[in-house]
């Protein structure tokens, strides 16, 4: 069992954030020692996942819906597939954006937004979006 300072050190999250996450039900502490919260080490996994989810652009609410309350009865596999598809689309957009940026970096068009290659790359992304 970890106290909040240890968990903070392990996870890289400030204690205030850990308390906040517990308050909104994203993680939970498994008891107290006096006033002090005690956490199981498994919580670090959850924290890593939460951070990943944020990177993927999900809100904390969405993340909670995904990784849920622990001991959840059943998880919604269809919802998971939908989220995976969302991430897939985002990966496509990011890939195009990255290519566009890389191109701009070596392109010599006076105004980079005018560069035809860049425009083509961006049009491709915009299509995917719709």
Partner DNA sequence: AGTTGACCTCAAGTTGGCTTGAATTCCTAT
Partner DNA sequence: ATAGGAATTCAAGCCAACTTGAGGTCAACT
With tokens 């904390």, the residue in question is 60
CB of 34 to a second copy, least distance (A): 29
Where do we find the tokens 């299509």? Answer: 127
Residue holding tokens 């989810």? 53
* Contact window for a second copy (CB under 8 A) among 1-9, 14-22, 25-33, 67-75: 67-75
Q: Given candidates 1, 5, 81, 114, which one binds DNA under the rule CB under 7 A?
A: 5
* Spatial contact of 103 and 118, defined as CB atoms under 8 Å apart: yes
Q: How far apart are CA 50 and CA 87, in angstroms?
A: 15
Asked whether position 53 contacts a second copy by CB under 8 A, the answer is yes
Establish if 35 lies at the interface with DNA (CB under 7 A).
yes
Which of 31, 41, 42, 54 is the binder for DNA (CB under 7 A)? Answer: 54
Q: What residue ranges bind a second copy (CB under 8 A)?
A: 42, 45-46, 48-49, 52-53, 55-57, 66-67, 70-71, 75, 77, 80-81, 83-84, 87-88, 90-91, 93-98, 101-102, 104-106, 111-113, 119, 122, 125-126
Q: What residue ranges bind DNA (CB under 7 A)?
A: 3-5, 14-17, 19-20, 33-37, 54, 59-61
């Amino acid at each position: 069992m970890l106290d909040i300072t240890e968990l903070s050190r392990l996870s890289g999250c400030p204690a205030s954030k850990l308390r906040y996450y517990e308050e909104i039900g994203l993680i939970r502490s498994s008891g107290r020692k006096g006033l002090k919260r005690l956490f199981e080490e498994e919580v670090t996994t959850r924290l890593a996942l939460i951070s990943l989810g944020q990177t993927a652009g999900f809100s904390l609410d969405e993340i909670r819906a995904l990784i849920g309350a622990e001991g959840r009865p059943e998880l919604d596999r269809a919802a998971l597939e939908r989220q995976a598809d969302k991430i897939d689309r985002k990966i496509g957009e990011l890939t195009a954006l990255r290519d566009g940026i890389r191109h701009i970096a070596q392109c010599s068009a006076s105004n980079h937004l005018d560069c035809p290659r860049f425009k083509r790359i961006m049009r491709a992304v915009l299509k995917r979006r719709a």
